[in-house]
Structure 1
Amino acid sequence: MTVDARAAARRPLHLAVGGALVVATALIPSAESVAADQTSEVTIPYTCQFPSGAEKADVTIKAVLPVSAGTGEVIRPADVSVEVSLERSALVRFTALEATTLSAVAELTVRNSVGEHAADASWQQLEAPAVGLPTEGEGEGEEQGDGEGDGQGAGGVVLTATGDVPTVAFGSPGRATITPSGLGLTLASFTQDGTPTSPPELAVTCEPADEEERPLARITVRDSTGPTAPSPSDPAPGEGASEPPAKPDRPAPGLDPDAHRKIDDLTEARLEALDDEDPGSCPIEIPPEWVMTTAETYAAGYANAVKLDGAAALGPAFMKVVLNKRYINDSCASTVDVTSEVEFEYEGKRQLPPTKATFLSYGFMPTTATMVLEQVGPPAVVQTHTVTNTPTYPEESTVTAQLSMRLYDVKVNGVPLDVGPDCRTERPFEQVLKGYGQSYPPAGYLVAYGGNLTGYAHIPPFKGCGVGEDLDPLFTSAISSVGKKADNYTKMTQAPLCVATNPEGPDCPPKVPKPER
C-alpha cells in the first residue's frame, strides 16, 4: 500500500491544544438555567472621597437580568456596565500631573436579597477604557451630558466600566432585589505620550449620597422545589444511574452530525482491512512538517454542579501550549495522531483564575466562597486523532489533566467560616474534555481555530477543611461526586491559537472567547 497522494498534499499542520479543564463547586453556581430577558438600569448619586475632599458623582448601573426565576435557579447578570460621571473639580489632581487621559477599574458591591435574607456580592475588575481629560476652559458653562459620547461631561469625564460579574441564586420564593451599594475606583492617569503619571494611580472609595434604596432590578422568585416528572433520560426506579454520554450531542453549526461516529468507524474499518495486507508495505511516516512550537490561548465556559442542578461560570483561563510533541502519520490506517501539552498560568502559578460567587443555600443561608483549580503533576496531555481517507478529514481531540480543587474565603450569612489554608480535594482528580470537528470545510472544534470542548469529572471528597472543627463532611456532601461516577458536566469555549511562529497574525495576542451555555 502507498500513501494517499491527495491526502498527503492536503494534510494540514495539526496544532493540538485543549480548552480549559474545569469542574464545578456547589458554592459557585452560574447562569445555566435562566435566560436574561430585560435590561435593568438605575442611576444613583454617590459621594467619592478624593485627596482634595468629597466629590459628587452620578453612577448609572446597567445589566441584563431576568424578570423571574425559580428557587435554586442561577442567574448571571449580562452586559454589565457601571458609568461614572466625575465633575471637573474631581479632576484637579490629574490635570496638575499634566495627565491627558484617565482610565479606571471599578469594584461595585451589590446586595442580593429576598425576604429577610441578604448577601453582598462584589462585582470586581470592571474595566473602563481611557478617556480624554478636559483642557483648560473646555466645557465650562456647559450643561452636564454634553460630551457627545467622547467620555466627557460638562467639563468632567464619564468613565464606563464593563466586565463579567459573579452569579446569584435565590433559595426562597418571593420578591428578590439586586441593589448597588459601595463603589471603589482605581483611577489611572497618563500623559500626552502615553506614559503613566507619577504617581500613576489613585484609589477612591464612593458611597451612595443618601439612604434611599434604589434597586437595579426586582426579580420574582417562584417556588420550584415541588416534584417534577422525570426526563426521558432519567433512569427508571431501581435501575440506577446510567453513565453520562462521552460525546456532545449537538455538534457546532456546519459540522457533520456523524463526524465523531465516522472517526471511530473509519478507523476501525481501515485497521480491519490491514489484517490481510503486508504491514511493511506502508510504514508509519514522520512528515517533514513535524515541528514543535509554542502557542497561547484562552478558554472560558461553564461547569455543572450536579448536586445543585446549576453551573459555574469559569475563566477566562490562560494556557501555554507546546504543539506537536509527538506526530505520527500512519498511512496504513489513514490516520494522523498528534500529541501536545498544556500548562495553565495565573499570576505565575499553575492554576485557573479563582472563581467567586454568591448564592442563598438551603433557602436561608447566603453563602459566598472562592474556588481555585490547581494543576498538579505533568502538563495536560492533548491528543488529536484525524482520519485522512475521507474528504472532510474528521478529527477528535481529547484533553486530559490532573487538577486539585481548593476552597477559601468562605462566608455564611456574612460571617467568615474558617476553613483553613488547605481545604481541598483529598486527592487530584482527572478532567477529560473532548471536541469534534472537520477540516474541509472547517467546522466544529479544530485545535488551531478553537471551538467547544465538553466532558465530565469526578470530584473526590474534601480534606483539611476547618480550624477547630472538622468541616470535611460538609463540603464533601455539598460538592463531591457520588461514588466513583464522573457526573459534573463541563463545556468550555477555546479561542484560536496565537502561535509563536506567527506573532503578527490575526489571533495574536490571544483573545478571550465568549463562553457558550
Structure 2
Amino acid sequence: MAVRVSAELPSVVRTGEKIQPEGVTVEVELPPAALRQFIDTEAATFSTVAELTVRNAQGTESADAAWKDLEAEPVAVPAEGGAVLVATGDVPTVSFGSPGRATMAPAGLGLDFTPLTAEGAPTTPPGLAVRCEPAAGEEGGEEEGTLGEITVRGATVPAVPGPVTTSPAAPPPEDLPPAAGPGFTPSLRDRIQGLTDRRLESLDGDEPPANCPVEIPPEWVMTTAEAYAAGYANAAKLDGATALGPAFMKVVLNKRYIADGCASTIDVTSSVDFDHEGKRQLPPSRATFLTYGFMPTTATMILEQVGDPAHVHSHTVTDSPAWPEETTITAQLSMRLTDVEVNGVPLDVGPDCRTARPFEQVLRGYGQSYPRFGYLVAFGGPLTGYAHIPPFEGCGVDEDLDAVFTAAVSSAGKKADNYTKMTQAPLCVATNPDVNCPPAVPKPER
C-alpha cells in the first residue's frame, strides 16, 4: 500500500520544550487486491482506526512513540478499483533533552478495519487488523519517510523563531482568544503579561539561575531584511479611509537581544525605515472624501518618516509551548497634502501643506509561534493601532487654508482617533535568501 504521512512541526525548539505535532494526517491508498476480503464478506462500508509508530531520534539515541486513535471516516467498498482513506487525530507531545539535530520518522503502521454490511450489521469476521512497516530503500523508506528535522538549542540561549518555508497559519487554539474587532482582544495581551508575571512570582525568594538575564551580543544575531506592508488608515472626521502602501521597508533585525531565563522571556529590538524612490516615506496615496459630509474633496496624502528609524520591540514568552508574542512598532511621521481638488476644482494648497508637527503612529500585533497564528515579525500578519493627527500649517497660496484642513482632518483634542490596520508580508532576510525572497506584496485587510 502507498501511505503518506504529514504533520506540522516547529523548525527550532529548546531542550526540554514540548513539541506538539499539529495537522497529523495518514493517507492510505488501498489497491483493489486489498479490498477483496471486504467484498468476500459482503461488506458495504468500512471504518478505520490507525496507529502510527513514530521514531524520535537524536544522535545515536532513539525512542518510539505511538500515535494512537487516528480515525478515518467510513469508506464505501467500491465494486471495482481501489479506495483512499484519510485518518486524522490528536497525538502526544515529545521533547528532546540535549542540543543538536533531531528527526521524527514513521517506523510502523497499524490499521484496524471495521467492515459493515449494507444494513449496518457486522460482517463475519467482524474486523481485520493489518500491521506494516516502511520498505527500506524504497519510496516511503527510512530516508524519504522522515516527517521533519528539528534543531534543538540549549536552554541558556533560547532559540529565535526565524523565517522558514511558509505554510498556512493554524487557527488559534481553544485556550487563546481569537481575533475580534480591531486586532486581537486585550485578553491575549493580558495573558502574555500574565505568563511573565507568574514566572517571576514563582522565582520570588529563590536564587536566580545563572542565565538570567543573558544579553546576546548584537553582532551574533543582527542582520538586515526587507518586507512590504499594505493597509488602510481611517480619517475619523471624514468617516472614510485611505489606502496605504504597498510600503517597502528596510529592516535591521535584532539590534538588541535579551533572553531572560528568570522570566522565561525574549525581548528583541529591531528598526525599520520606509523607502519609496530613495525617500523615507510611504508611496503617495490618493483618496476622495465627503468633507463636512457633503463636499467631495480629493487629495494626495504623503506620509513621510522623520527622526530615528521606527522602533520595533517584540516580547516573547518562552515558558509557554505556544510562544505567545507581542510586538509594538512605533514610527514618527509627518503628513503632507498635495493636488487637492474640491468638487472637481483644483485648490492650490502650495508645496508645503503638512501637519504642524510630527505625530506618533503606534501599531501592535499579537500572535504565537506554535501553532503559528496572528502577527510574528518573521512571518508578518496584521498590525493595528491609532494615531493622533496634529493641526495643519503651510496650507494655501492665495489664502490661509490651515484652519480648513485642521477642522476637516485633524484629531479632536489629544485623543488618537484614526484607526490604522497594516498587513506585513513575511520578511526576506539577508542571511536566508532562499526563503521569502524577493519580498512579496501582501493583500491589505480592512
TM-score bin (small chain): 0.5 to 0.7
Answering whether residue 323 of structure 2 is matched by residue 393 of structure 1, we say yes
**TM-score, reference length from structure 1:** 0.51
Q: 1:363 to 1:397 in 2, by over 3 A?
A: closer
Residue matched to 2:421: 491
Are 2:420 and 1:478 equivalent residues in the alignment?
no
Deviation per CA, 1:17-55: give whole Å up to 9, x if none. xxxxxxxxxxxxxxxxxxxxxxxxxxxxxxxxxxxxxxx
Q: Which has the larger radius of gyration?
A: 2
- Residue 14 (structure 1) shift: 4.7
Superposed displacement of residue 266, structure 1: 0.8
Asked if the contact 1:494–1:513 (Cα under 8 Å) also holds between the matched residues in 2, the reply is yes
1:299, 1:248 → 2: CA distance? 20
- Return 5+ residue gaps in structure 2 as ranges: 1-13, 18-152, 164-177
Which secondary structure state, in structure 1, belongs to the residue aligned with residue 191 of structure 2?
A: helix
Q: 1:6 aligns with which of 9, 13, 16?
A: 16
Give the alignment partner of residue 373 of structure 1, picking from 279, 303, 328: 303
Residue 426 (str. 1) matches residue 436 (str. 2): no
* Maintained 8 Å contact 1:318/1:344: yes
Query: Does the CA-based 8 Å contact 1:259-1:438 persist in structure 2?
Result: no
Number of aligned residues: 281
Sequence identity percentage = 70
* Partner Cα separation in structure 1 for residue 361 and residue 293 of structure 2: 31
CA distance 1:370–1:336, change in 2 (3 Å)? same
User: 1:363 Cα deviation (Å)?
Assistant: 5.7
Asked if the contact 2:266/2:315 (under 8 Å) is kept, the reply is yes
SS at match of 1:477: helix
Change (3 A) 1:416 1:251: closer
SS of 1:516's equivalent in the other structure is coil
Amino acid at match of 1:6: G
Of 277, 296, 319, the residue aligned with 2:206 is: 277
Structure 1 contact 335–388 (Cα < 8 Å) conserved = yes
Q: 2:232·2:422 contact (CA, 8 Å) conserved in 1?
A: yes
Alignment correspondent of 2:385: 455
Q: CA deviation at 1:367?
A: 2.0
Give the alignment partner of residue 338 of structure 1, picking from 258, 268, 271: 268
Answering whether residue 341 of structure 2 is matched by residue 411 of structure 1, we say: yes
Structure 2: distance between partners of 1:295 and 1:398: 18
Query: 3-state DSSP class of the match of 2:431?
Result: coil
Inter-CA distance 257–423: structure 2 relative to 1 (3 Å threshold)? closer
Mapping 1:162-201, distance limit 5 Å = none
Letter of the 2:234 partner, please give it. N
Cα pair 1:320 1:342 within 8 Å, conserved:
yes
Indicate conservation of the 8 Å contact 2:395/2:402, yes or no. yes
Picking from 218, 239, 246, the partner of 1:316 is 246
Deviations 1:374-426 (A, max 9, x none): 00000000000000111101010000010000001111122221111111111
Structure 1 residues 431 and 313: alpha-carbon distance in aligned structure 2, compared to 1, 3 A threshold: same
The runs of 5 or more residues in structure 1 that have no matched partner are: 17-246
Q: Is the 8 A contact 1:397 1:434 kept in 2?
A: yes
The C-alpha deviation readout for 1:321-352, integer Å capped at 9, x for no partner, is 00000000000111000000000000100000
Superposed CA deviations along residues 157-210 of structure 1, whole A, max 9, x for unmatched, are xxxxxxxxxxxxxxxxxxxxxxxxxxxxxxxxxxxxxxxxxxxxxxxxxxxxxx
Shift of 1:258: 4.9
CA contact (8 A) 2:238 2:292 kept: no
Indicate which of 438, 443, 446 corresponds to 1:509: 438
Partners of 2:238 and 2:293 within 8 A in 1: no
What's the C-alpha RMSD, in Å, of the aligned pairs? 2.5
Q: Secondary structure at the match of 1:307?
A: helix
Q: Identify if the C-alpha distance between structure 1 residues 15 and 410 changes in structure 2 by more than 3 Å, giving closer, same or farther.
A: farther
Structure scoring higher RCO (CA < 8 A, sep ≥ 6) equals 1
Give runs of aligned pairs for residues 95-106 of structure 1, distance below 5 A: none
Q: Give the structure 2 partner of residue 249 of structure 1.
A: 180
Per-residue CA shift, 1:42-94, capped at 9, x if unaligned? xxxxxxxxxxxxxxxxxxxxxxxxxxxxxxxxxxxxxxxxxxxxxxxxxxxxx
Q: Which amino acid aligns with 1:499?
A: V
Q: TM-score, normalised by structure 2?
A: 0.59
Is the partner of 2:411 in helix, strand or coil? coil
Q: Tell me which amino acid in the other structure corresponds to 1:265.
A: G
Tell me the SS of whatever aligns to 2:16.
helix
Q: In the alignment, residue 300 of structure 2 is paired with which amino acid?
A: T
Partner of 1:357: 287
Q: Residues of 1 paired with 2:16 and 2:328: CA distance?
A: 27
